[in-house]
A = this chain, B = another copy of it.
Amino acid sequence: MLGARCLLRALRSCSSAPCPRHTPSAKLSVRDALGAQNTSGERVKVQGWIRSVRSQKEVLFLHINDGSSLESLQVVADSSFDSKELAFGSSVEVQGQLVKSPSKRQNVELKAEKIEVVGNCDAKAFPFKYKERHPLEYLRQYPHLRCRTNVLGSILRVRSEATAAIHSFFKDSGFVHIHTPIITSNDCEGAGELFQVEPSSKVKVPEENFFNVPAFLTVSGQLHLEVMSGAFTQVFTFGPTFRAENSQSRRHLAEFYMVEAEISFVESLQDLMQVMERLFKTATMLVLSNCPEDVELCHRFIAPGQKDRLEHMLKNNFLIISYTEAVEILKQASQNFTFTPEWGVDLHTEHEKFLVKHCGNIPVFVVNYPLALKPFYMRDNEDGPQHTVAAVDLLVPGVGELFGGSLREERYHFLEQRLARYLDLRRFGSVPHGGFGMGFERYLQCILGIDNIKDVIPFPRFTHSCLL
């Protein structure tokens, strides 16, 4: 019988003990193989999915992709390797030598010594055809497979890079990252349709509400960031937000991502606008330098001209106009709008797009909106009859509103009628502060030129659709 001591001796250590496993030394991602400096016949193992097969008399060419890059690795094999199983979509493991490619189309290719089919692909049933460029609407029907196409692969790699770039921008600028809650008993904006949350089987919770109070999915992390900016001065969050809007438009989702920041001791909208502009430009430059091929694919095949438009945005200083000036510009426009522009009425997307064009397709901040249009927490400009608040929206080409922000009302007596907790924040060392939010999907649409918001999020949720 085994004693505990004896068993302890039987413990295996994970990192160092010899274990029955493959030596991973020769395993390379496609990206690393393509970038390999040593092409003097280094023996490697590459795994991935077949993107193309070309069979010649004596040679077989395969292109292998593993999603680590847009580009595939060319595998060159003796035609004796040819088999029906080496088909478009199959997964394979190839061992061989990395060598300089004689062709100009690539630097490196893999001379196969062994090819193993890991998983077959029923190419007839596979919804995407070899060498065919499928429209984005078609791909949307296959949320579980569309990521295997070039275009969705590129968009989602850009999304991943942009996420990292935004985190690093804020970290480098001294912001503390906060996980603001998803379930909340607040309704931050007081507007928009909320999703309510309840346990699915009510049997086990005898109370009426699981949380004692009605609970909703967050529409903004602003209130929670305000709490935190009172401790950390500069904070940000980057997470999902929700609107139960019954909309099938290409601009709206029920679940989308927002980047939100809150900064204490800001003195003017200028302070906020500088952070917004730096965030947009810094993150975009990082994305462009980290995955240029992926961005280029979008710019070339989906949004021709977008490359120049984006460069134009990056090299110019963003502009600033007041809401009042914006309404004047719209009133004098020769264009006929569906909604007549008028002071005191919200700007519509058609107005926003006109304003951006009018400004030479440079992103433009619109500042100082009528008090009556904006939520209670925005700072009163106390500017007489045309009563405005220190709010700002950033409008960008193609998308319209990308950022929204404001100075927050920090003065106790302006807020006295409001929530007790919200007031509490102003009792204990109140400071002027402000913040903003940026729609992350709209940001991706803006830099890539993608028309439909459903194509820049891995699994879109909207009315009548919650696939997977």
From known contacts A10-B325, A224-B459, infer whether A118 and B15 are also in contact, taking CB-CB under 8 Å.
no
Residues of B within 8 A of A201 (CB): 193-194
Q: A113-141: contact bitstring with B at CB < 8 Å (1 yes, 0 no)?
A: 00000111110011000000000000000
A457 within 8 A of B: yes
Residues of B within 8 A of A254 (CB): 183, 210-211
Residues of B within 8 A of A320 (CB): 11-14
Copies in the complex: 2
Complex-state Cα separation, A71 to B233, whole angstroms? 15
Residues of A in contact with B, size category:
35 or more
- Which residues of A, 414-435, contact B by the 8 Å Cβ criterion? 421, 424-432
Q: Are A199 and B244 in contact (CB under 8 A)?
A: yes
Contact of A176 among B12, B93, B143, B157 (CB under 8 A): B157
From known contacts A159-B179, A183-B255, A430-B119, infer whether A233 and B67 are also in contact, taking CB-CB under 8 Å.
yes
Complex-state Cα separation, A3 to B333, whole angstroms? 10
- Closest residue of B by beta carbon distance from A320: B12
- Which residues of A, 59-81, contact B by the 8 Å Cβ criterion? 66-68
Q: Are A121 and B429 in contact (CB under 8 A)?
A: yes
Complex-state Cα separation, A424 to B410, whole angstroms? 55
Q: Are B176 and A67 in contact (CB under 8 A)?
A: yes
Complex-state Cα separation, A271 to B182, whole angstroms? 34
CB distance from A184 to the nearest CB of B (A): 7
- 17 further interface pairs, Cβ-Cβ under 8 Å (given A13-B318, A120-B430): A4-B333, A8-B359, A11-B364, A13-B316, A31-B174, A49-B429, A118-B431, A119-B430, A153-B231, A163-B179, A182-B217, A183-B255, A185-B466, A195-B199, A197-B217, A212-B465, A215-B461
**A residues whose Cβ falls under 8 Å from a Cβ of B:** 2-4, 7-8, 10-17, 19-22, 24, 29, 31-32, 47-50, 66-68, 89-91, 93, 118-122, 125-126, 143-145, 147-148, 152-153, 156-157, 159-160, 163-164, 167, 171, 174, 176-186, 193-201, 204-205, 207, 210-217, 223-224, 227-228, 230-234, 239-240, 242, 244, 246, 254-255, 257, 264-265, 267-268, 270-271, 273-274, 277, 316-321, 325, 328-329, 332-333, 358-359, 364-365, 410, 421, 424-432, 457-459, 461, 463-468
Q: Please name 28 pairs of A and B residues whose Cβ atoms are closer than 8 Å in the assembled complex, sorted by A.
A: A4-B329, A11-B359, A12-B320, A13-B316, A14-B317, A17-B317, A21-B267, A66-B233, A68-B232, A90-B429, A118-B432, A119-B426, A119-B430, A145-B230, A157-B176, A157-B232, A164-B177, A181-B468, A183-B461, A193-B204, A195-B198, A195-B199, A195-B210, A200-B244, A210-B464, A211-B466, A227-B468, A421-B468
